[in-house]
Structure 1
Amino acid sequence: MPNYDYIIIGAGAAGLLLADTLGKDPFFASKSILVLDKDDKSKNDRTWCFWERGIGRFDDLIHKTWNHIYVGGQKFQQSTSIAPYTYKMLRGIDFYDHFVPRVKAYPNVTWIQEEVQQFEEHEHEVVVTTVTQEFTGQTVFSSLYDPSLPLKQSIFPVLQQHFLGWHIKTDRSVFNQSEATFMDFSVPQKGNTRFMYTLPFSETEALLEYTLFSEHLLEKNEYEEAIKAYIAQNFGDIAYSVQDTEFGSIPMTCYPFHQHNSEQIFHIGIAGGWAKPSTGYTFYNTARQVPQLVAYLKTGRPLTQYHQNSRFLYYDMLLLDILYKKNHLGHDIFESMFKKRKASLILKFLENETNVWEELQMVTAPKPMPFIKALLHRLF
């Protein structure tokens, strides 16, 4: 049975960035690393978006950027600059084409395309079982997400950021390619938090995603009919073709995923709770988490002691408490924030980079009573 120092299960953003960071660091040159993934990473299976200041480490891979965003609702429309931030879109295929060959080229990394069926911790090793064979590892980093875990408790509510997207091409110019639609709440809310998210690549091409922050998913045709209605309402009687589609569902919860880590098993990515609870944004946080995790590995301290907590988790918790009980309030909360505060400050807050004074400005933007009730509920 082949044995490795580190086994990384899953070659998504978290797995690939971890494998690359370990592979290029001379500190781990003597460590054997196995990467397991069921896919060959040759498809554009996802899109990551994030915002950051200035030049970033992924800029050479970025597909499109925007310096302005649009936020709208039933009675509110705003087009605004997000300076000093830039909103950036990274396609999965471009990320894979860059990082997969790099990772495979490291002499101490073995890449095997196999689907992992289970992994089991023993006294001195972890046994990882795939469809055809077994491996042992001293430490396993798993990105396999078990959606049943947070549903087995009631302390932390669990919502989903779920969406279906169409990459469409129109027969005439209709899109403003210099501006991304960050949240358009003009779509019927139907008792939920629902909005359209649009990323224009040119005047005739864009990715339109019908997105919800809610507890339950919809039937596929409900997402599709909402996109069709939005196109008809905003662009009139245009002809268009669907170039590509994507669907996703990201957990929105403050559930402490880190409690499932052990001395030999550590969960990464969404499985490790690396998604921003209040928004579902994961990629940029993952890119920040990986170097910190690797630096911690060098200390030799137990992985069970590696956990980062902050006051921002409490802000996320209060918002999720509100949306879980009164999901229809979402559009009002987000619209109030963008109506009363600068977009750049909102993005800074959502990226966990604000100071206490800035956070006070943010939490006082929406109507206070829902947050006061949520706070009292958490305290008592």
Structure 2
Amino acid sequence: MKHFDYIFTGTGLSALMTIYKMVLSGQFQDNSMLLIDENAKKTNDRTWCFWDKNGTVWEDSISKKWNSALFANEDFRRNLDLKPYQYNMVRGLDFYNQVFDLISKQENITFVNQKVIEIEESENIILIQTDSESFSCSKLFNSIYNKRKAENQTKYPVLQQHFMGWFIKSEQPVFNPGQATFMDFSVEQRGNTRFMYVLPTSGTEALLEYTLFSQNHLEKAEYETEIKKYIQNLGITTYEIIEKEQGSIPMTCYPFWKLNTKNVINIGTAGGWTKASTGYTFKNSNKKSTELVSFLQRETDFTKFHKRTKFWFYDLLLLDILDRKNEIGSTIFSSLFKKGNSQLIFKFLDEETSLKEDIQVILKCPKMLFIKAIFHVVFKTMK
């Protein structure tokens, strides 16, 4: 059995960001590292978006940027000037290529294309069993999501951001390549929080995603029917589907960090790194991975890594509302974006606002809903 200093079980976004930054830091050249994943990361299987104003280490993976975004519902449309932010699109394969181009050159890093079957921790060593081999390590980064832990409890709501996306090429130039559609709630809500998300890369090409924040998934045909209907409403009569993607991201404030031990840390969705109130993953994982690499250079006890902030509580309030009244998501987001300062909203969603700025954003939302949610959340979490 081969032993490594660090093993990553799962090589999703968080794991690849973390090991990439470990390499860039130059501080881990003497440590042996192993990445284990049943997915070889050689296909364009997903798209991430994030807003940023200062540039990023992931610049080579960004395929499109927008300075403007559209927010819409059935009653109004608002063009959002994002400056000083830009809205960025990262295709999965571009990101994988950037990371693996670097780590494949490192003699101390190994990748195996295998499925993790079991993880067993003792006091000073962790054993990992795959479908064909066994490995051991001193420190483990786990990004394999434990669905049972999150969903077999009642204190913390668990919703899903579930979606289907089509990247299409139209004969008609109907898209504005200078503007992304951030949220379009003009689609039928049907008792849920439902919206379209449009990322145009040219006048005739765009990724359209039908997205829900709700408890339950739909049948495949329902996602497709809604995408077709939206395309038709755009005035497109002839188009080609270039690619499809489908996914589901857990939205929850469940305290995954309590599952961390001295030598095992849960990262990514498995560690609560997804922004619970929106499902955004890229920006949060980028921040957390930077913090983790810095932490590794000064600490050895993973139970000391996590710090809960006021934003965790804000997210919990919104999820509590959407869990009990899923149909009013459009009302909440519309109240926020109708007259709110878009730059301040993005700063708030990035968890970078002061308490004074928090209040400015929160006061745009329906007040009684959140006041009632405070009492409901406090009562549930104290039980």
TM-score, normalised with respect to structure 2: 0.96
| Contact 2:262 2:300 survives alignment (8 Å) | no
Q: CA deviation at 1:240?
A: 0.7
| Contact 2:174 2:234 survives alignment (8 Å) | no
C-alpha distance after superposition, 1:181-210 (max 9, x if no partner): 000000000000000000001000000000
Q: Counterpart of 2:262 in 1: which secondary structure?
A: coil
Aligned to 1:231: 231
Between the two proteins, the alignment pairs up a number of residues equal to 379
Q: CA deviation at 1:17?
A: 1.7
Write the letter of the residue equivalent to 1:209.
E
C-alpha distance after superposition, 1:224-268 (max 9, x if no partner): 0000111112225x1011110001111111000111111221111
Residues of 2 paired with 1:58 and 1:306: CA distance? 24
Aligned to 2:377: 378
Aligned to 1:21: 21
C-alpha distance after superposition, 1:344-369 (max 9, x if no partner): 11111111011111111111112211
Write the letter of the residue equivalent to 2:32.
S
Q: CA deviation at 1:12?
A: 2.0
Residues of 1 paired with 2:139 and 2:300: CA distance? 13
1:151 partnered with 2:151: yes
Q: CA deviation at 1:21?
A: 2.3
Q: List gaps (5 residues or longer) in structure 2.
A: none
Write the letter of the residue equivalent to 1:16.
L
Residues of 1 paired with 2:146 and 2:138: CA distance? 22
Residues of 1 paired with 2:257 and 2:125: CA distance? 20
Aligned to 1:126: 126
Q: CA deviation at 1:23?
A: 3.0
Q: CA deviation at 1:291?
A: 2.0
Aligned to 1:115: 115
| Contact 1:63 1:91 survives alignment (8 Å) | yes
1:58 partnered with 2:58: yes
Query: Equivalences for 1:95-114 in 2 at 5 Å?
Result: 95-114=95-114
Aligned to 1:260: 259
Q: CA deviation at 1:97?
A: 1.1
Write the letter of the residue equivalent to 1:295.
S
Residues of 1 paired with 2:98 and 2:81: CA distance? 31
C-alpha distance after superposition, 1:44-74 (max 9, x if no partner): 0111100011322222221001110011111
Q: CA deviation at 1:29?
A: 2.1
Q: Counterpart of 1:124 in 2: which secondary structure?
A: coil
Query: Equivalences for 1:1-380 in 2 at 5 Å?
Result: 1-236=1-236, 238-380=237-379
Q: CA deviation at 1:281?
A: 0.5
Residues of 1 paired with 2:56 and 2:303: CA distance? 31
C-alpha distance after superposition, 1:133-174 (max 9, x if no partner): 100011110111121211111111010111000001101211
Residues of 2 paired with 1:75 and 1:216: CA distance? 27
Aligned pair in 2 of structure 1 residues 379, 133: CA closer, same or farther (>3 Å)? Answer: closer
Q: Counterpart of 1:27 in 2: which secondary structure?
A: coil
| Contact 1:19 1:35 survives alignment (8 Å) | no
Write the letter of the residue equivalent to 1:364.
L
C-alpha distance after superposition, 1:9-35 (max 9, x if no partner): 122221112222223434322211111
| Contact 1:23 1:109 survives alignment (8 Å) | no
Write the letter of the residue equivalent to 1:85.
Y
Residues of 2 paired with 1:5 and 1:47: CA distance? 32
Write the letter of the residue equivalent to 1:344.
Q
Percent sequence identity over matched residues? 44
Q: Counterpart of 2:195 in 1: which secondary structure?
A: strand
Residues of 1 paired with 2:76 and 2:164: CA distance? 24
Q: List gaps (5 residues or longer) in structure 1.
A: none
Residues of 1 paired with 2:21 and 2:365: CA distance? 41
Write the letter of the residue equivalent to 2:286.
A
Residues of 1 paired with 2:144 and 2:55: CA distance? 31
| Contact 1:117 1:129 survives alignment (8 Å) | yes
| Contact 1:161 1:212 survives alignment (8 Å) | yes
Residues of 1 paired with 2:351 and 2:94: CA distance? 27
Residues of 1 paired with 2:187 and 2:50: CA distance? 24
Aligned pair in 2 of structure 1 residues 294, 56: CA closer, same or farther (>3 Å)? Answer: closer
TM-score, normalised with respect to structure 1: 0.97
RMSD: 1.2
Residues of 2 paired with 1:80 and 1:305: CA distance? 39
| Contact 1:16 1:103 survives alignment (8 Å) | no
Residues of 1 paired with 2:81 and 2:242: CA distance? 29
Q: Counterpart of 1:248 in 2: which secondary structure?
A: strand
Residues of 2 paired with 1:134 and 1:301: CA distance? 24
Q: CA deviation at 1:300?
A: 3.0
Aligned pair in 2 of structure 1 residues 301, 40: CA closer, same or farther (>3 Å)? Answer: closer
| Contact 2:322 2:328 survives alignment (8 Å) | yes
| Contact 1:24 1:106 survives alignment (8 Å) | no
Residues of 1 paired with 2:63 and 2:23: CA distance? 26
Q: Counterpart of 1:182 in 2: which secondary structure?
A: strand
Write the letter of the residue equivalent to 1:81.
D
Residues of 2 paired with 1:334 and 1:356: CA distance? 20
